[in-house]
Amino acid sequence: MIRIGHRKLIYSSMLRGVGSFTLAALYTLSADFWSTGAWGQQTRVEFNFPVQYQAEPKKRSKAHVTTQPSSPKLAPVTTEPSSPKLTPVALPASNPTSALGSALASCEEGSEGSGPLSLPGVRGEVKLDLCYRGRDHLVCSFNALLKEAKTLIGDYGKILEANYPDVSNINGVCVIKPSKLATDLENASDFTNRFKALKAEYEARTNCASRIEQSLRDVTLPDMAQAPEILQSMIDSIDGDIRGLSVVQAQVVELAAKIDSSQKAMVTIQKVHQTMCLKDQRAGMDEDRASR
């Protein structure tokens, strides 16, 4: 009986221990459950936020892109390219002993004291090329060139009357007087030298006038009510001065080409004359040489 009672006591104690352990375990599991549930809820919130952020990325507004300031270093290149600097027109040195050189020297004396010229422009003063000393000086120079051109046409055009390049047989060669042939050769050489000087002066001074025409297109006259009309009339005036000279200059250029052909033909005719003409014709040539 004692042993049986003792066993019941041990068994009852064991049941009480198991019950206490069970209650403690349930309490622990319950606490862990609520803790785990809160952590799970917190975890879902933390992981859902990145997914929502990736699904709806932040977009930059167009206004922010367009209002971004541009680099100040690139602005001058893209908006206002610098104007090319032009080399001033250099006028050739004239021979003061020649008719053309003397006339041009008189024009230079009349323009002494005139400094660099300028006119108002959009970006400040428009400085005119130093070759230009006013329209009076320009017209004076053009008149000197015009006079020289007309002189060359009148004095040396007679060389073409002999039609040297068109001689077709030996008789035509031998009837040419050696004295006339020598005179025409000398005149042709004089023409060539004077034409070269005229051509150089013409190209330089018309280039100067064209440069001034271009500069006038950049000029503004803000104080004038009819500024566009005034500027256009200024350009037309210089353009008219150039046209008046260019017509005669074209005639001189044409004459120069013909005289060049005649001069080459005369040199050949001289050689043929010495080789093929008869003795009396040669005697006439020697007589002409002695008379000079």
pLDDT tens column, 83-119 = 456 687 888 888 899 999 999 999 988 776 667 899 9
Please tell me the predicted confidence (pLDDT) of residue 87.
80
Q: Quick count: other Cβ atoms within 10 Å of Cβ 168?
A: 7
Tens digit of each residue's pLDDT (9 = 90 or more) over 235-290: 999 999 999 899 999 999 999 999 999 999 999 999 999 999 987 765 455 555 55
Whole-angstrom CA distances from 201 to 113, 134, 159 are 22, 17, 24
- What is the Cα 200 distance to its own chain's centre? 24
Which residues lie below 8 Å from residue 177, measured CB to CB, with a gap of 6+? 284, 288
Residue spans per domain, the chain: 2-55, 88-291
**Residue among 198, 211, 196, 201 nearest 89 (CA):** 211
**CA–CA distance, 245 with 242 (Å, rounded to integer):** 5
Instruction: Name the more confident of 31 and 92.
Output: 92
* Residue 127, pLDDT score: 93
- Helix ranges (H only) for 158-226 are 170-174, 178-216
The larger pLDDT score, comparing residue 259 to residue 1, is at 259
